[in-house]
Amino acid sequence: MRRAFELAGLSALPLAVLGVFFVLPVSGMVSEGFVADGRFDPGGVLEVLGRPRVHRVVWFTVWSSTVATLVAVLLGLPVAHLLHRRRFPGRGVLRSLLLVPFVLPTVVVGVAFRELIGESGPLGFLGLDGSAVAIVAGLVFFNVAVVIRAVGAAWESLDPRPAEAAAALGASPAQVLLTVTLPALRPAIVSAASVVFLFCATAFGVVLTLGGLRYSSVETEIYLLTTNLLDLQAAAALSILQLLAITGLLVVTGRLRAVPDPALARSVRRAPRPSRGDWPGVVATGLVLLLVGAPLAALALGSLRVGDAWSLGNYRALTGAGSQHALLVSVTDALVTSLRTAVDATWMSLSLGLLVTVVVTRRSRSRTERRVRGLLDGLFMLPLGVSAVTLGFGFLITLDRPPVDLRDSPLLVPIAQALVALPLVVRTLVPVLGGVDDRQRQAAASLGAGPLRTFATVELPLVWRPLTAAAGFAFAVSLGEFGATSFLAREDHPTLPIVIFHLIGHPGAMNYGMSLAASVVLAATTALVMLAVDRLRVSSVGAF
């Protein structure tokens, strides 16, 4: 009984948050689709699923996301190894730099990407503009950081000795990787891949901008149906399809993730410098840097052009609000709003994420208990797979009366962002916390430590590194979040991506230049924050 109470107690808060801010709005929006002319009509929704266009859209979503996920994992793994198991000058800078794409607004990156691959761009001869290849490249650009960071964090805390034992038994580095390291990393890889897949499957701007309208994904289709046609029936049908697909994905990945006892290092040896054997990592890092760096460089160069001359004019213009440009707030003010919102979103998603992780990773005593914990694990992944439009509209129609009259609350934006970041936080923490030997907890408890103290002294020091990785993710997600935020941001306090979107959506060379400059500021801020987060070390927390 006590365990049941503990389980219920720990999961109460996350469940309540998820219930109010996800289940309620989404079900509210979906149920709109089931009501036609004032009465319940599920037939219409089913009819939508039979349309050939829907089949095409679903097929495209599935294959493009799968390919993008595979590429992101294949590219990300060697980079994760180089950046988390090797030591070299500039490693920290590189790590934070690779996270930058994650936060950039797709509108701007889309423009930067297309300036490279467009008909008149330096890579125009490849004919990629508007092709599926461009979409996949864009998806990888935005998501490879997830693999690098999530798998890297796990790799960093992986006990190196089984690999050494295998090497001593005659396994070549490749064989060690395949037979020892990858199996041990499987939970982390599967976690990261499932998150990346969900991000890809719900990508919106990339598909539209880079696909040049030739391709539609489930997400763009829902957007079109909801915002343009107000065809809520069809939107509901697709939303349900999304939810079902995600549930399926979660079941599969849950199975794949389960491995006996991933080994966790008690003490992590200092990483060696790269050697000749690290060439795959170096090559992959080079490729990723090229993929990530080229559009960023295009962005940075563009931000320095005013007319036909080099100038810092675009940056100087960022601090001014009024003058001839019709921004209500200056870009610097928007940056402050963005940062403050991100701080809130980060602590919200971290505290919720930690609770969820603790609940999910506690060793179960019975089959039912294990089922319940597994179910909870999957439940918190759902927000990733549902369209921001559905959620945004759902907020408006369901959170409008007491006790949850929150439509106008300034906290709605960070809460929405925290929900988006939550699965990332959970997926980063679960593999590591799941690897903590139960006996350590028992030892601490036997020495008189209560559950909280046990957590603070046994688990917290071990999860500190992944925790900083998760915090970085949450912060970055919040800084770059556009979909839900654009629905909820109040005009007197818009975040930076909203302002950038505003700037690039209006004619005038100055607006264009400023939007690029603002994006560079956003990118640089992100990189700096990531660098700072990475520098935080366990000493301050693990000491007591």
Partner 1 sequence: MRPIHALTHALAPLALALAAAGCSTIGDDSSSSAPDDATKPTRVVLVTHESFSLPKPLIKQFEQASGLDLVVRATGDAGILTNKLVLTKDDPLGDVAFGVDNTFASRALDAGVFAPYDAALPDGAEEYRLPGDDEHGLTPVDDASVCVNVDDTWFADHDLAPPRTLDDLADPAYRDLFVTPGAATSSPGMAFLLTTIAAYGEDGWQDYWTKLMDNGVKLTAGWSDAYEVDFTQGGGHGDRPIVLSYDSSPAFTVSGGTSSTSALLDTCFRQVEYAGVLDGAANPDGAEQLVDFLLSPEVQAALPESMYVFPVDSSVKLPAEWARFAEQPSDPYEVDPGAIGEHRDEWLREWSDVTSR
Partner 2 sequence: MLTLDRLTVAYDGEPAVVDASLDLDDGHVLAVLGPSGSGKSTLLRAIAGLEPPSSGRICWDGADLARVPTHKRGFALMFQDGQLFNHLTVARNVGYALRLRRAPGTAERVAELLALVGLEGYADRLPTTLSGGERQRVALARSLAVSPRLLLLDEPLSALDAGLRERLASDLRGILRSAGTTALMVTHDQEEAYAVADRLAVMREGRIVQQGDIGEVWRAPADPETALFLGYARVLEGSAAATLLRAAGHPPAEAVAVRRSALVVDQHGPLRGLVVSARATPELIRLVVDVDGVGEVDAIARLGTHPAPGDPVRLGVDPGRLATPGRR
Cis status, amide bond into 403, omega within 30 of 0: yes
For partner 2, which is the closer residue by CB, 271 or 541? Answer: 271
User: Minimum distance between the CB of residue 364 and partner 2, rounded to whole angstroms?
Assistant: 16
Distance in angstroms between the alpha carbons of the first and the last residue of the chain: 32
Q: Provide the token pair at 504.
A: 């690039």
Interface residue with partner 2 among 172, 311, 319, 368 (CB under 8 A) is 172
User: Minimum distance between the CB of residue 171 and partner 1, rounded to whole angstroms?
Assistant: 41
For partner 1, which is the closer residue by CB, 6 or 347? Answer: 347
User: Minimum distance between the CB of residue 486 and partner 1, rounded to whole angstroms?
Assistant: 6
Distance CA 1, CA 11 (A): 15
Interface residue with partner 2 among 3, 9, 13, 164 (CB under 8 A) is 164
Among 111-119, 257-265, 340-348, 527-535, the segment contacting partner 2 (CB under 8 A): 257-265
Interface residue with partner 1 among 209, 349, 478, 519 (CB under 8 A) is 209
Using rule CB under 8 A, residue 492 touches partner 1: yes
Among 67-75, 178-186, 295-303, 358-366, the segment contacting partner 2 (CB under 8 A): 178-186
Residues 6+ away with beta carbon under 8 Å from 461: 538, 541, 542
Interface residue with partner 1 among 178, 230, 244, 290 (CB under 8 A) is 230
For partner 1, which is the closer residue by CB, 208 or 430? Answer: 208
Residue 516: name its binding partner from partner 1, partner 2, none (Cβ under 5 to 8 Å by kind): partner 1
Q: Residue 424 in contact with residue 473, Cβ under 8 Å? A: yes
For partner 2, which is the closer residue by CB, 170 or 402? Answer: 170
User: Minimum distance between the CB of residue 426 and partner 1, rounded to whole angstroms?
Assistant: 20
Using rule CB under 8 A, residue 240 touches partner 1: no
Using rule CB under 8 A, residue 261 touches partner 2: yes
Distance CA 538, CA 525 (A): 24
Distance CA 184, CA 262 (A): 6
Among 97-105, 115-123, 142-150, 159-167, the segment contacting partner 1 (CB under 8 A): 115-123
Beta bridge partners of 535: none
Question: How big is the CA angle at 470 (ends 260 and 539), to the nearest 5 degrees?
Answer: 90
Using rule CB under 8 A, residue 13 touches partner 1: no
DSSP3 helix / strand / coil % (the chain, rounded to 5): 75, 0, 25
Scan residues 513-532 and list those touching partner 1 (CB under 8 A). Answer: 513, 516
Burial class from Cβ neighbours inside 10 Å (0-12, 13-18, 19+) for residue 529 reads: buried
For partner 1, which is the closer residue by CB, 9 or 307? Answer: 307
Q: Residue 385 in contact with residue 420, Cβ under 8 Å? A: no
Closest to 234 measured CA to CA, from 385, 390, 48: 48
For partner 1, which is the closer residue by CB, 229 or 375? Answer: 229
